[in-house]
Amino acid sequence: MRTTIAVAITAVVCFTVGAASGLGGTVGKTYVLKVKDIASFPSDNFHCQAVDAHEVACGGPVKKGSIQVYYAPHQLAVVQFLGGNKGKILYQADR
């Protein structure tokens, strides 16, 4: 009986501490972007832009060697820019 009470009290204390600390709560913000909207991150070297209703492109400044991510409903691609408009696909997957 004593063990059961100790287990129950421990469970209540753990649940209360978890709830008070925000455990299980929302971690980040969710943004609903319209076409051509840009979400810029505080470091200002990474952003995402809604290309159309079903596609988003994310990455940093397009400099030689920079890596960008392209996401579409049926494709994910990671591209490294070699300079100008040329790039090398590092990873590509159909969804």
Q: Which residue has the higher pLDDT, 95 or 16?
A: 95
Write down the pTM of the prediction. Answer: 0.45
In a domain, 21, yes or no: no
- Quick check: 39 pLDDT over 60? yes
- Please give the tally of structural domains in the chain: 1
Residue 34 forms part of a structural domain: yes
In a domain, 11, yes or no: no
- Across 2-16, 36-50, 76-90, least confident range: 2-16
pLDDT, tens digit (0-9, with 9 covering 90-100), for 63-78 = 788 787 877 778 888 8
The contacts of residue 92 (CB under 8 Å, 6+ apart) are 75, 76, 77, 78
Tokens of 33: 């972007």
- Residue 3 domain-assigned (yes or no): no
For residue 80, give its domain range.
28-94
At 39, give phi and psi (nearest 5°).
-105, 115
Domain assignment present for 1: no
Residue 2 is assigned to a structural domain of this protein:
no
pLDDT level of residue 31 (50, 70, 90 thresholds): confident
Count of all residues that appear for the chain in the document? 95
